[in-house]
Amino acid sequence: MKPIKKIGIITGGGDCSGLNAVISAVTKTAIRKYGVEVVGYLRGYFGLYHNNFVNLDMDKVSGIMHEGGTILRASNKDNLFNYRLEHEDGSVTYEDVSDIAIENMKKEGVDALIVIGGDGTLTSARDFQRKGIPVVGVPKTIDNDLPSTDVTFGYNSALTSIVDSLDKIHTTAFSHDRVMIIEVMGRHTGWLALEGGFAGSADVILIPEIPYDLNKVVEKVKQRDAEGKYFTIIVVSEGAKEKGGDVHVRQIVEDSADTMRLGGVGKQLANKLEKLIPNHEVRNTNLAYTQRGGITSQFDRLLAQRFGTMAIDLLMQGGAGKMVRYIGRDVTHVDLEEVVGSGEVGETSKGGAKYVDKNGQIVESAKAIGICFGD
């Protein structure tokens, strides 16, 4: 592999707290430790395709570590191996434009990439590595569902937002004897609802891994009434569903890597519960994007910076084709092919997400203190 003199950083997929801390750590380590230049591509792979970037230096990344979001912005619609092109006649085609991105890199003298994102973004990172571009991946998702790593940055900050919201909603629920439903993110996995709800004193937690029986939820509300606790807090993942039912689809976005947008299950649940417990007012709150933003937690700041320094060390020391990860209390690395699968171009491994174990220790501990999962 030829010497690396300039690297590019990409932030793809949804935003989350901790992205700026990674950007800061990568840039500072690259400049201070290795004396290489750094550029940041704007709006993920979109910037790589359009050759739209900014030069990153010590001043540019100063004071950004605690800020949520990403100074490079992000996009979850730009798979350069299956890119949506609109033509003058109004037709739309999907084409592999990755070679254009590679030519842009060569033109600017960018020798390698550090790609920060989830499974879709990292699948493209793997595919660029296969085409000869040295790449190191950094895992990112607030859902905490990526395999091969115990945790991803952004997750802890999202949990902090959820618990803070539950603490506030708790006092309102108590004051008005209400059933309060709080919908949180989690398309396919229930980590946010499980750990956020557990720490935030939820009475009912509904997650995708455990299809729920609505009657069990009603029983829990009535049980609390009988105990003189005339309010109930219910935390529900956006991907939760009733037994024999399906997820609640909010929107279909055709040009996105993940076309199905979930959301609205909390409102749906509220409408059903109001008919079954007429003696209670039922209110729904969807935390939505408040979970992604805000000040980055201490844990996520530290983890993101450790990821960033490890990523640049790997890249500069011949470790391209890897993804950094957090195992135990150590930051290590794993082959990208192992994380997203070794399938065809653009193909992410199926069934590789990290799901909540419905018989695991956390769920059993929650049930031991009386939390209902509707099963």
Tokens of 107: 């033109």
Q: Catalytic positions, please? A: 143
The 10 Å Cβ neighbour count of residue 322 is: 22
**Residue ranges of domains in the chain, CATH in brackets:** 6-153+296-340 (3.40.50.450), 157-293+357-368 (3.40.50.460)
Give Cα separations from 309 to 50, 125, 359, 371 (angstroms).
28, 18, 36, 40
Share of the chain above pLDDT 90, in %: 82
Q: Which comes out higher in pLDDT, residue 348 or 300?
A: 300
3-state secondary structure of 133: coil
Burial of 86 (0-12, 13-18, 19+ CB in 10 A): exposed
Least confident of 69-78, 178-187, 356-365: 69-78
pTM (two decimals): 0.91
What does the pLDDT look like over 69-82, one tens digit per residue? Answer: 999 998 878 899 99
3-state secondary structure of 181: strand
Q: Which residue has the tokens 């010590």?
A: 58
Are 74 and 11 in contact by the 8 Å Cβ rule? The answer is yes
Burial of 221 (0-12, 13-18, 19+ CB in 10 A): buried
- The sign one gets for the Cα dihedral 62, 68, 70, 71 is negative
- Helices of type H across the chain: 19-29, 45-50, 98-108, 119-130, 155-176, 191-199, 214-226, 265-276, 298-316, 336-340, 361-368
Asked whether residue 344 carries a pLDDT value surpassing 80, the answer given is no
Task: Give the helix/strand (H/E) hosting 234.
Answer: strand 232-237
- Nearest of 236, 255, 111 to residue 186 by alpha carbon: 236
Asked whether residue 172 carries a pLDDT value surpassing 70, the answer given is yes
